Amino acid sequence: MALTATHPQAMRQSHAPAATPLPAVLRLFWAGSIAAFGLIFLIAWHWAHAGIPREGWNPLPDPFLGDLFTNMPTYRFVHTAAFWVDTPATPAVAYPPFGAILLGLLYATRVPALAYGAVAVAWLLLACWGVRQALIDKGISPWTATLFPPIVAATSFPIEGLLQRGNVELLLWIFAATGTWLFLRGYDDGAAILWALAAATKLYPIIFLALLLSRRQYRAVVLGLASFFAVSVASMLYLGPGLRTAWAGSLRNVFGYQGVRVSDWNMHELAANHSFFTWVKTVAVVAGHPASRLTLPYYACGGVLFALLFFGRLVRLPIANQLLGVSVFMVLLPPISYFYTLVHLEAPWLVLVFLALRAARAGVRVPGLSLTILLFLPVFACFSLFTFKSVLLFGGLIQGACLAVLLLCSALFSFPDGAIALQPAPGPE
């Protein structure tokens, strides 16, 4: 008579719950990311062999780590007034004072490329590992959970482009994303400080503090603002040669850079700049109106729009909606917002990913969730996929339009968090 195995390990394996598959929308996103990544190589190969000029198809024409090394000669004059003077030999540092400090710290390592690469690798490994563990906790198989995060990251063009250029946006991304992670776990003070550091690096992440206002965490908001001013002043005092000189030089360089770039009208701006201002500038150029005169009205209208959107609508919606709306607005509003700034949308995208997992396990439908997740496909893809000058298609305009639709999704749909019951729906999403 045959004997049935009753080994304890076999019994544990027989009672182990089956792994939960990725929802269909995430499998589609995964496949779409890989397809977009492969397609850009095919298009580049075709255009190159068709004799199209390099600037017409190459999405990364800048030298490797070009942004990292641009200002290295300028740092010979740190602590002097010459540091703030823009010359061909010593280009102006177009970052706020704390951003200039961070760039100086990379230069101080003597091997900036190695330091930048080490920070980038450590950050991406930590992020992918954290997402892997969270996926496993949600019942996804270890094999799928191990492959999904790094493949999505490797096929995300904003991440690739950021690392290729060596931009300080990497450090800003670390501050902002870690602040968001703390915020989602209820550590509002820590989130406020990290968002303040991000804002002191490139200003625009100050908008994240609005998320604390929706929770009525006024003390955390004050802490964030105080941290921003303290870090900025301390950075100016360090850079020198005095607070007044550093303040005037920083304002001139940061906003001078913006002033020059807003007037640019070329292939790079149309293809790589997803700011809504690119649409405004397009209309202005066609109408024969100088785009530089529209900057202040544009900021004023943007501020009013954000106030109406956030305080009139988003504050009444779940945290996922607020984070999505604020993050999209943050990368859509600045007149100069190139493809690598889109890395800040990885965090709200991940929040929606885990909402999709939770909804799939509960067998419920969240209206608009699949559409919103899939809208990130063209946003995370290479802008060259949507740039065809002969038919007046430009990646920056198309990705800007996708971002505008994402902003609408954040206000039109409701993406409930764990405290809100998901309502079953009869059909699949």
- Side chain identity at residue 300, one-letter code: A
pLDDT of residue 404: 97
- DSSP state string for 14-57: HHSPPPPPPPHHHHHHHHHHHHHHHHHHHHHHHHHHTT--GGGT
pLDDT along the chain (429 residues), means of 10: 42 55 96 93 72 61 88 95 93 94 95 97 98 95 96 96 95 98 96 98 96 94 97 96 94 80 78 90 82 85 95 95 98 93 97 94 92 97 86 90 97 78 42
Q: How far is CA 194 from CA 126, 228, 229, 323, 332, in A?
A: 17, 9, 13, 16, 21
Q: Kindly list the distances between the CA atom of residue 418 and the CA atoms of 184, 185, 351, in Å, as whole numbers in the listed order.
A: 11, 12, 11
What's the distance, CA 361 to chain centroid?
28
318: left (phi over 0), alpha (psi -120 to 50) or beta: beta
Where does 50-141 have alpha helices with state H?
Answer: 66-69, 97-108, 112-137
From 205, 210, 229, select the one nearest 220 (Cα to Cα): 210
pLDDT value for 113: 96
How far is Cα of residue 374 from the mean position of the Cα atoms in its chain?
16
Instruction: Please work out, in degrees rounded to the nearest 5, the angle formed at the alpha carbon of residue 357 by the alpha carbons of 351 and 361.
Output: 145
**Looking at this protein, which amino acid is placed at residue 410?**
S
pLDDT given at position 418: 57
- The residues spanned by each domain of the chain are 21-33+51-412
- pLDDT at residue 87, rounded to an integer: 92
Instruction: Provide the pLDDT for residue 387.
Output: 83
Give the model's pLDDT for residue 13. Answer: 45
pLDDT at 1: 35
What are the pLDDT digits (tens) for 259-296?
667 777 778 788 889 999 989 888 888 887 877 788 88
Residue 8: predicted pLDDT? 46
